[in-house]
Amino acid sequence: MKRIFAIFFISFIVFSCAKIVTPSGGEKDVTPPEFVDSKPYQNSVNFNGKQIKIEFDEYIVLENPINKVLISPQIKPTPEITSDLKTISIKGLDSLKENTTYIIDFADAIKDYNEGNRLNGFSFAFSTGSHIDTLWYEGKILDAFQLKPIANKYVLLYSNFDTTYIKTTPSDYLTRTDSNGVFRFHNLAEKNYKLIILDDKNQNKIYDLPNEGIGFSNEILIPYVSDSTSKMRLLKNKFYYSDFVEEKTDSSQNISQRIIKDSLFSINKYEKDTVAFFEGGYDIVFKDTLTKDEFSVFLIENTDTLQVNFLKKNDTLYSLDKDLKMATKYEIIIEKNSISNIYNQTNREFKHNFYYSSQQDYGSLTLNFVDSVSNNACYIFYLYNMAGKVVLEEYALENAKSVSFKNLKEGNYKIKIAIDRNCNKKWDRANFELQEESEKVLIYNKNIFIKKGWTTEEEWIISE
């Protein structure tokens, strides 16, 4: 009797102390969990239960289900979704609509316990009626200006196209874009839909705040049966999202004006103090009107120091009254308290070293273009470097056939165009109230090499 008790006691200790551990030895597990079974079964019909259980082939972790798991149509109150060992449980399904297909989209929330391998794109569907919807729609979301994939944004489908309805009512279906900007809907009803892309600031999954980024399509979306052509549809179905921040020109490479701030004035300089050829000379812009129409400064040219004047051009703009020599180093010195404005404010001492380079140190680009995309539009051309920074913009009116970029450093560039449909000289993001999509942006499909002292000429037939 004592022997039997000892064996039982030892067995109890062994089993009660068991833990989930990573098996030792062998190759590292890189396989995500696999769906095994569920109650009810996947794509079941006539469901009238209060909970769902989904089984996998290994121990799992359900990461941040409150934010990552999406249910379409949305259910209020939100069901409780938990995991335990190999099972996911969905409880609180007390308010389901009749004759409705529901999709539970887990995105990348499911991963295995030991190695963290994610099961991407897993979803579970069921119907409360005798029929389950089976249609698909998939596509890709791009930043409307950068034309790069947009990750982790809500994609909403509405069968009611009324603007007020969309801004006050949950969508028929919702999902999120993955890291490649791709979204997929399945188990859709056979209806026409409007697509909305949303940066949801208040997490209510409705476009109802003025600072929420948005994109949408004015084309009617028609879902389809998933088949061998689905991959081609994915490549074709591109949509565009725009945030509030518009890309600003980085003028550090060209000779457009840059500003040095003083308590009294701003000085327009060029090229980060080392500078560039500039046909207009050297200007100073004052914040307020000065007491004199001209003032003197010291200009050091190589080793010679000269006293030169700045002459008044308008109330706040003064220009250097001296022709500068190309390929020459200069320093301008404005002594402290040498300039005063009508409010008796004076300047700090200011020194500026710059190099007035030769025009032959720079190249230029002439771009001839034919627009096959739009009619009666204007154009904004963006020239940017290989790091993706816009270095120069040029504007072209409707019916223009070419545009030129001058005074460019030698190197490789790319170019893109915004179709300025309202000719307001700026790129406009999507405006949902006016039902205007973001202005179209297109990229020239080759790099452009600019050689100093040369004019490069390119031809672009603008097409989508």
Topology agreement, domain 258-360 and domain 362-462: yes
Give 27-70 as a DSSP string: SPP-PPP-EEEEES-TTBSS---SEEEEEESS-EEE--HHHH-E
Mention every residue, 6+ apart, whose C-beta is less than 8 A from residue 420.
Answer: 377, 378, 379, 380, 395, 426, 427, 428, 439
User: 362-462 adopts what CATH topology?
Assistant: Immunoglobulin-like (2.60.40)
Positive or negative, the CA dihedral 160, 165, 169, 175 is: positive
378, HSE (Cβ side, Cα atoms, 13 Å): 13
* pLDDT score recorded for residue 23: 54
What amino acid occupies position 267?
I
Distance of CA 387 to the CA centre of its chain: 16
- Tell me, what's the pLDDT at 26? 63
- Does the pTM surpass 0.75? The reply is no
**Tokens at residue 74, please?**
């949305």
Instruction: Tell me how far apart the terminal alpha carbons of the chain are, to the nearest angstrom.
Output: 87
The reply to whether omega before 40 is within 30° of 0 (cis) is yes
**Residue 416 neighbours by CB distance under 10 Å:** 17
Cβ atoms of 337 and 429 within 8 Å: the answer is no
- Phi, psi (rounded to 5 degrees) for 443: -110, 135
Give the separation between CA 103 and CA 100, rounded to whole angstroms. 10
Residue 353: closest CA among 281, 271, 237, 292: 271
Strands 118-119 and 110-112 turn out to be: antiparallel
What separation in angstroms does the CA of 319 have from each of 257, 326, 350, 426? 14, 18, 16, 30
Residues in the chain where the model's pLDDT stays below 70:
1-26, 230-231, 244-281
As given in the structure block, the two tokens for residue 261 are 């701030």
Q: Residue 10, SS3? A: helix
pLDDT digits (tens, 9 = 90+) for 265-279: 444 443 332 233 344
DSSP 364: E
> Number of C-alpha atoms within 13 angstroms, CB side, residue 159?
9
The CATH class that applies to domain 30-127 reads: mainly beta
Please give the structure tokens belonging to residue 229. Answer: 């052509």
Dihedral, 124, 130, 131, 132 alpha carbons, nearest 10: 0
Q: Which pLDDT belongs to residue 13?
A: 41
The one-letter amino acid at 249: T
Q: Where are the domains of the chain?
A: 30-127, 135-241, 258-360, 362-462
The domain covering 135-241 belongs, at the CATH homologous superfamily level, to: Immunoglobulins (2.60.40.10)
What are 56-65's pLDDT values in tens digits? 999 999 999 9
Please give the pLDDT value at position 24.
56
Cα(172)–Cα(160) distance, integer angstroms: 9
CA distance 81 to 89: 6
What is d(CA 39, CA 257) in angstroms, rounded to the nearest whole number? 68
| Residue-level pLDDT at 243 | 85
What pLDDT score was predicted for residue 2?
43
Class of domain 258-360: mainly beta
**Res 415: pLDDT:** 96
Contacts of 325 (CB under 8 A, 6+ apart): 301, 356
- pLDDT value, residue 168: 95
